[in-house]
Amino acid sequence: MEIRKKLKNARIEAGLTQEKAAEKIDVSRQTISNWENEKSYPDIISVIALSDLYSVSLDELLKGNQKMAEHLEESTNVVKSNKKLTGAILLNIILMILLIALNMLLPEGTYYLVIVFCVVIMSSSALLYQIIKRI
């Protein structure tokens, strides 16, 4: 059975409306609706909260749904996430070295420097966003 049907059936069996369920696990009613319509998937913390709220085992909620398993794998895979962050840091360092090298090699090539500088700023912003998102 699909996760959306499992969530909806469990909520109905628990005698809760979407609004009441949302209130109890501190999300919006629209979020519950999105989960029940597979527009999005709950994170692992929300799945645990739903399991407790609906008095349904995690095993019962999660087994047999490949999309949900993939979503949880992606959202909780720390090693993969750390590799992406490390790659972004290395790319940023390489871009900064390139900026310095171009500055030495092309003293009159200000257009190249401006372009590389903009790329460094954008990658630094993306990197900072990822670091803040982790905190």
In angstroms, the Cα distances linking 94 to 43, 81, 90, 124, 132 are 34, 20, 6, 12, 22
The total of other beta-carbon atoms located within 10 Å of residue 42's CB is 23
Q: What SS3 state is found at 38?
A: coil
pTM value is 0.53
Rounded to 10 degrees, the C-alpha dihedral 33/34/36/37 comes to: 110
| pLDDT tens over the chain, length 135 residues | 588 888 899 999 999 999 999 999 999 999 999 999 989 888 888 888 999 999 988 888 777 667 776 777 776 666 666 777 778 788 888 877 877 777 777 667 667 677 777 877 887 787 777 777 765
Query: Residue 21 has which token pair?
Result: 């369920």
The total of other beta-carbon atoms located within 10 Å of residue 92's CB is 18
Integer Cα distance of 76 and 89 in angstroms: 21
In angstroms, the Cα distances linking 23 to 14, 18, 27 are 14, 9, 6
pLDDT at 61: 77
